[in-house]
Amino acid sequence: MKEVLLHTMSDVKRGDFKQLLKELTEVPGPPGHEGPVRKLMARWTAPVADEVTSDHLGALIARKGADGPRIMVAGHLDEIGFMVTRITEEGFLRFQPLGGWWSQVVSAQRVEVMTDQGSVLGVVGSKPPHLLPPDQRRKAVSLEELFIDVGASDKEEVEAMGIRPGDVAVPWSPFTVMGNSKHWLGKAMDNRMGCAVAVEVLRRLSQTDHPNTVYGVGTVMEEVGRRGAHTATAAVRPDIGIAVDVGIAGDTPGINKDQAPCRLGDGPQLVLYDAGHLPHRGLVRLVQDVAKKEGIPLQYEWIARGATDASHIHLFDKGVPAISLGVPARYIHSHTSIIHQDDVERLIHLLVAVIHRLDRETVDRLCQGL
């Protein structure tokens, strides 16, 4: 599909990364419902891209340049959320999780239910612990036992709000600059951070020559199996793939540093291993060399369970040299996460510097496994 997305750009604050991230994190977009996020990302990419298009599943594909090897820089548009499956006669919503949720972080949290008539505020409820036998109080409540309360007295009131089965809900957690102003808190850092970074990389490349064609991409449905990476990669047909995503920060109490050694503020992450992808060795060396030359500290992550969009990007056609880069985040796959401004800025710096090194000769060598 060659659907060109046209938007009026006079109101876009160019170069304001914090504002971009705030807007992207606050807009709702669970898997399969990324349209509002795509439209917003299109507004921000249009001033710095030569063309902004979409694939048939709804990815955002922004191209900068027309010559040289194709470099794909991909975040994913979707966030974890919920889908309404049933409205009870008493006016409560039963739901299906969209993406990986741990039940302990869901109960008593606010959510926004998205309807054709607008959003409806709700809260996730469960049976009070006072009514549970002692043995059950020590156990996590299962997701199947939870429900959403939108403040209705019965099913008819819920339906009058415009809520129907199939509507989706997302966490309600506004973007917030914390006491240390370099700590940014908000929902959907996984992975609006990656989308915002892709936009900012295009913006910086628009101010300089680069030896390639760069695609800033927002894929869809990553949180339910990285499905959109298939179609977006087919649309771009990249020579090199770079997935940008958040990783686990291990700098909070109780975490074994042998499992999660990365800390907020200590630099971007390079993923050495995940359950779906081993990074291209030549790209790893290139990133390490560029980081050293640019004075950018690198942290290393390995993901025993889970994967990024690189797991699908690298399998396209004859194979695509691919790598995953990102920043550590606290409390991922919950209603809110924290990232560090310095990590994001260094990641953007690193990506721009790496892309400047990816000329035709270098890319051909990487594609030959050298």
Binding residues for Zn(2+): 76, 190, 223, 245, 333
Which positions make up the binding site?
A: 76, 190, 223, 245, 333
User: Which residues contact residue 146 at a Cβ distance below 8 angstroms, ignoring those fewer than 6 apart?
Assistant: 95, 103, 106, 107, 124, 125, 126
State the DSSP code for 228: H
Catalytic-role residue among 23, 34, 112, 222: 222
Mark whether 144 is an active-site residue: no
The H or E element containing residue 219 is strand 213-219
Q: Is 123 exposed, middle or buried (0-12, 13-18, 19+ CB in 10 A)?
A: middle
Give me the helix-helix angle, 360-367 and 281-294, nearest 10°: 140
Q: Write phi, then psi, for 234 (nearest 5 degrees).
A: -65, -35
What separation in angstroms does the CA of 313 have from each of 60, 73, 237, 357?
15, 11, 9, 20
End-to-end CA separation in angstroms for the chain = 35
- Give the residue among 71, 38, 15, 322 at the shortest CA–CA distance from 213: 71
User: Which residues contact residue 18 at a Cβ distance below 8 angstroms, ignoring those fewer than 6 apart?
Assistant: 177, 184, 341
Q: Identify whether 191 is preceded by a cis peptide bond (ω within 30 of 0).
A: yes
Q: What angle do CA 317, 320, 324 make, to 5 degrees?
A: 135
Residues with a known catalytic role:
222
